Amino acid sequence: MRTFTPQSAEQVLIDIGVNLSDSSFTKDWQEVAEQAQLAGVSPLILTGTNMSENRQCQEMCQQSSAPLFTTAGVHPHSASEYSTETTRQLRQLLKQEKVVAVGETGLDFNRNFSSPEAQVYAFEQQLELAAETGLPLFLHERDAHQKQLEMLTACREHISGGVAHCFTGTQEELYNYLDLDLHIGITGWICDERRGSHLHPLLKDIPSDRLMLETDAPYLLPRDIRPKPKSRRNTPLNLPHILQVVAELVGKPAEQVARESRTTSLTFFNLQDLL
């Protein structure tokens, strides 16, 4: 495992995508958050994917001794549950101080756990909430790039920003997002030689003020981590490993990438006055 120890507060990493409400963290989520803070990964941005998890994540933010923030939204897998009442409840959640983005939202035409029509409707409603609240978007997309791009382009002037969470796409898809002045979230996917190597030359094309780092814990355990944890559970403690890989690929010192990604994340989520 590659290690990185921040030498200043400006180098402390921010993990912008942690699924701390996942059942694998039920027994030790507070310990996970505290260990991350001690290791120089703080704050954590929790990911809300449905109304139940949105509320759970908000409660975690209030209960934790480590600084936590969260998104609030409805993932495309849960889009079939979306209703006018969902919009009303989301609107109230998005007013809370610890809620810093709308999402996880977007389109996923790969598995279609919800119909494409339901996904488009739910995404439209959340785009409107982002425009209404001024909060940025935390975006998911799989096998639906053209439709998602079309919808984002139509509303881009009305929303403050967005991040393509866990970006794994092509050069064309990357450029499409960058042309819309969107941010890019990079995970341990880049550590997988089977699936992520196509991203390696693309990292240099991401401006430093658009690049953010995330683990997507407990998912996407970096494949090249040694020794492998017995549980196969990913945690924010692995973000320094991802940082080191990114730094090597872009040809910069890890300290510089850490500082740049922290500054970008603080600005994107408007956290300067909340820490």
- pLDDT (tens digit per residue) in 87-124: 999 999 999 999 999 999 999 999 899 999 999 999 99
Q: What is the DSSP letter of 50?
A: S
CA distance 128 to 57: 22
pLDDT digits (tens, 9 = 90+) for 219-268: 999 999 988 888 889 999 999 999 999 999 999 999 999 999 999 999 99
| Radius of gyration for the chain, computed over Cα atoms and rounded to the nearest angstrom | 17
Q: Is the pLDDT assigned to residue 171 strictly greater than 90?
A: yes
Q: Where are the domains of the chain?
A: 9-268
Mean pLDDT score across all residues of the chain: 96
Q: Which tokens is 119 given? A: 């996904």
In the chain, what percentage of residues exceed pLDDT 90?
93
Residues forming a β-bridge with 217: 18
CB atoms within 10 A of CB 226: 7
CB atoms within 10 A of CB 28: 12
Residue 189: per-residue pLDDT: 97
Residue 154: per-residue pLDDT: 98
Q: Residue 144's pLDDT band (boundaries 50, 70, 90)?
A: very high
CA nearest 9: which of 262, 265, 271? 262
Residue 48: per-residue pLDDT: 98
In the chain, what percentage of residues exceed pLDDT 70?
99
Q: Is the pLDDT assigned to residue 1 strictly greater than 70?
A: no
Q: What is the DSSP letter of 115?
A: -
Residue 3: per-residue pLDDT: 75
Q: Is the bond preceding 116 in cis, omega lying within 30 degrees of 0?
A: no
* Separation of CA 131 from chain center: 19
The topology (CATH level 3) of 9-268 is: TIM Barrel (3.20.20)
Phi and psi for 211 in degrees, rounded to 5? -100, 125
The mean pLDDT of 208-212, rounded to a whole number, is: 98
Q: Which tokens is 176 given? A: 């499409």
Regarding predicted confidence, which is higher, 238 or 273?
Answer: 238
Q: Is the pLDDT assigned to residue 2 strictly greater than 80?
A: no
Where do the H-state alpha helices sit in 225-275? 239-250, 254-268
Q: Residue 155's pLDDT band (boundaries 50, 70, 90)?
A: very high
